[in-house]
Amino acid sequence: MAGEAPENYDYDIQFSLRRPLFPTGEPSDYVLDFEARINWDPDGDGSSPEVQHAGRVVGYVIEAARAIREGDALLDVCDSVDQNLCNYYELLFATPGNHLRDGISDGDGGDDVLIMYPS
């Protein structure tokens, strides 16, 4: 019946990560962007010709620990990519500073950040 969840939950998630081979020296070097394609396999063994596209997510990995260690401001890192990442910066990081807001981090600071959203 349409709209019902399948009885098996065999999903295959394939990640594609974009990163230059050589650093450019720009703050954007600390940001990896990716997309993930999610497929559903009704047989659960990868042999089904009926594998269906179930969804897609995109996102960023901010190498915050490396940026901080190398002396770069996280606001500059986020600003070097796009306004969307700047908006996440405002939500996640204490301003001014290079540490995650209270309640987001375990308190050690300098952690890398994964941001994912459906596409």
Domain boundaries, the chain: 11-118
Question: Tell me: the pLDDT tens digits for 10-31?
Answer: 788 899 998 878 888 999 999 9
Which residues in the chain come in under a pLDDT of 50?
1
Whole-number Cα distances in Å, 90 to 18, 30, 32, 68: 24, 17, 19, 17
pLDDT computed for residue 106 by the predictor: 65
pLDDT computed for residue 1 by the predictor: 45
**pTM for the whole thing?**
0.76
Do 113 and 64 touch, CB atoms closer than 8 A? yes
